[in-house]
Amino acid sequence: MVVGDFPIETDTIVVGSGPGGYVAAIRAAQLGQKVTIIEKENLGGVCLNVGCIPSKALITAGHRFHNAQHSDDMGIVAENVKVNFDKVQEWKSGVVKKLTGGVEGLLKGNKAEIVRGEAYLVDNNTLRVMDENSAQTYKFNNLILATGSRPIEIPSFKFSKRVLDSTGALNLSDIPESMVVIGGGYIGTELGSAYANLGTKVTILEGADDILSGFEKQMTQIVKKGLKSKGVDIVTKAMAKGVDETDSGVTVKYEASGEEKTVDAEYVLVTVGRRPNTDEIGLEEAGIEMTDRGLVKIDKQCRTNISNIYAIGDIVDGPPLAHKASYEGKIAAEAISGEPAEIDYMGIPAVCFTDPELATVGYTEAQAKEEGLAITAAKFPFAANGRALALNATDGFLKLITRKEDGLIIGAQIVGAGASDMIAELGLAIESGMTAEDVAMTIHAHPTLGEISMEAAEVAMGSPIHIIK
């Protein structure tokens, strides 16, 4: 870093190098902008380092162990299967290292300058970057804020050795014998499932009426069945009150059904949401408008009320999803270059890597009806699919939401094996304005899980082949 009183000038500065920031920087550089990206911690942000990627690695390890122990009905009998958790963590860290190293290579390959340090806005054209030893002023024509979010800490559950956030849960040195998870959203259920597969006794405490409130109840019921088969206790309408810690464990106090109760465990994992990183970066100095929830207000091009400052990812409205941030990063970079790019969230999927997986895109059946749309909700079960049977993964279904008047696909929900991959086809269908007939007439390879999309489309048309109408 150049240090001195003279500011460094650049076209576009990106603050934050997560899935939103690094994608924005690369696209801006591809469009001819001179780009500087500022990161105070690790390239790749939360997603690559302590979120999406390491959690999926841990989930995969859990699946492998669980499947090795529970494949007797397929004639696969494995005795004395063990987990070397040090090796699991080493492998998980290797996956992270490959991806973060790849991000650095991509940024350098696109000639984006990487600056390490903490950014603070001075005005709408100037910011300071500080590290432990120095500070440097930068002048920019355009700025993209991609500072992400952090776990919410409950006052009565201060993070510690035994009270963990998601980062702490991903970096345990041993598989715990027991764990309480506060919050039954996607992070809590994913990590709870992973550790349950590895042999941990898991208890999930959720304050709402049900876990995974962002998904339809008929989908989450299948996930709950899977969790309970692994010995997970799920307590809904439960209010966590506090925790007593010892050197060897915790006692979590909560209220449910009007009674004060306790549960003992080695650790308690708190996953009650995330807070946007919009404090202490000088937004007020630049006059950037915020919402009541502490999010940055943006328009259809991710532009704030300050015309040359953009914001993307977890610090703006919408679900805190890595792929949403990447999408917005491209929009912002293209808008700066004068292209007519605008955000349209209709085709953005949401996925939860539970067992089985959950995925949704576009309208749900309930949302479509609330909008007053005349729809067809067509379901096809995994149990009627040859590939699902051969995988011994028959729990689940695909539901296709189509407009009655013309068969236009406006939504889809999947619960089942491979849902995270299958949802992409239906997102493309929505984005492309396809009808049920378009999907039904697309020849899908046999036997594959992808055929379920085709079969559901045929149900929507009233002419299913592999289930009785």
32-88: per-residue pLDDT in tens?
999 999 999 999 999 999 999 999 999 999 999 999 999 999 999 999 999 999 999
444: annotated active-site residue: no
Q: Where are the domains of the chain?
A: 8-150+275-345, 163-272, 356-461
Is 356-461 in the same CATH topology as 163-272? no
Q: Which fold would CATH assign to domain 8-150+275-345?
A: FAD/NAD(P)-binding domain (3.50.50)
The reply to whether 149 sits in an annotated binding site is yes
pLDDT at 1: 40
Task: Summarize pLDDT for 254-280 with one digit per residue, the tens.
Answer: 999 999 999 999 999 999 999 999 998
Q: Which residues make Cβ contacts (< 8 Å) with residue 329, sequence separation at least 6?
A: 19, 20, 21, 22, 23, 24, 25, 27, 144, 146, 312, 313
Give the whole-number percent of the chain exceeding pLDDT 90.
97
Indicate which residue of 66, 444, 446, 466 is catalytic: 446
If you ran DSSP here, which 8-state letter would residue 369 be given? H
If you ran DSSP here, which 8-state letter would residue 238 be given? E
Please name the amino acid found at residue 450. Answer: G
The reply to whether 266 sits in an annotated binding site is no
Distance of alpha carbon 442 from alpha carbon 169, whole angstroms: 43
The reply to whether 41 sits in an annotated binding site is no
Residue 3 has pLDDT above 60, yes or no: no
The reply to whether 94 sits in an annotated binding site is no
One CATH from 3.50.50.60, 3.50.30.30, 1.10.3210.10, 3.40.50.300 for 163-272? 3.50.50.60
Q: What would be the CATH architecture of the domain defined by 356-461?
A: 2-Layer Sandwich (3.30)
pTM, to two decimals: 0.95
Mean pLDDT, rounded, of the chain: 96
Residue 5 has pLDDT above 80, yes or no: no
The reply to whether 185 sits in an annotated binding site is yes
The reply to whether 462 sits in an annotated binding site is no
The reply to whether 183 sits in an annotated binding site is yes
Q: Is 406 left (phi over 0), alpha (psi -120 to 50) or beta?
A: alpha
